[in-house]
Amino acid sequence: AAGVIQSPRHLIKEKRETATLKCYPIPRHDTVYWYQQGPGQDPQFLISFYEKMQSDKGSIPDRFSAQQFSDYHSELNMSSLELGDSALYFCASSLRSGANVLTFGAGSRLTVL
Amino acid sequence: GENVEQHPSTLSVQEGDSAVIKCTYSDSASNYFPWYKQELGKRPQLIIDIRSNVGEKKDQRIAVTLNKTAKHFSLHITETQPEDSAVYFCAASIVGNEKLTFGTGTRLTIIP
């Protein structure tokens, strides 16, 4: 069965650079979520989209933005990167009528030097 | 917003023994409580979930109990095996409100 696909899996950037992460949800899933997980931390909710519209917002820095496209894939754009942005970024998707059962992608590991 | 507390932060049990992880939540409107298992550097994987209309759910060696009055829920793993070693996260959300709020995680180590 198709899963949530994230790319790239690993990304190394310098401070103040920009990074873009991509997420392809499970086919027919209508909701996409982004989570940030620092070392030894729990996943922190950043933002979610339902049917291509932003549906909820968490602790996402103003330097970050995200959108969901017509094909339902989503991108997380991070600018003016800081050392503290180094983390695992997970995308998850769900079907709203499936009542919150989130399936996570394998994650994108961002390292900021 | 929702706040989920999880205890203990680390847990070591002998292989074959049982493990129990407990979580409390703050928002009485929360009605969906999943548990995720995460191995180092990998994705969280759903292992079991429970909705507020039931008090207990079991799937082979794993069970979850929910006490809505006290706003706490627990994960029980019986006959533990080395492959159960991982970090376990509880979470809570409101069905239809999507986002999960995670607990701080429990690192479970099974001692052979």
Positive or negative: CA dihedral B56, B59, B60, B64: negative
Is B61 near chain A, with CB under 8 Å?
no
Question: What integer pLDDT is reported at residue A97 of this predicted model?
Answer: 72
Q: Is B80 exposed, middle or buried, given 0-12, 13-18 or 19+ CB atoms closer than 10 A?
A: buried
Which residues in chain B have their CB less than 8 angstroms from residue A56's CB? 97-99
Contact status, residue A108 vs residue A88, Cβ threshold 8 Å: yes
Residue A97, chain B, CB below 8 Å: the answer is no
Q: How far is CA B90 from the centre of its chain?
A: 4
* Residue pair B91/B34 in contact by the 8 Å Cβ criterion: yes
Express each pLDDT in A46-59 by its tens digit. 999 998 899 889 98
Q: Is the pLDDT of residue A11 over 80?
A: yes
- CB atoms B34 and A42 under 8 Å: no
Per the model's pLDDT, the better-predicted residue between B52 and B62 turns out to be B62
Helix (H) or strand (E) holding B32: strand B32-38
- pLDDT tens for B84-99 read 999 999 999 987 766 8
* Cβ contact, residue pair B49, A101, below 8 Å: yes
Which of B43, B99, B101 is the closest to A90 by Cβ?
B43
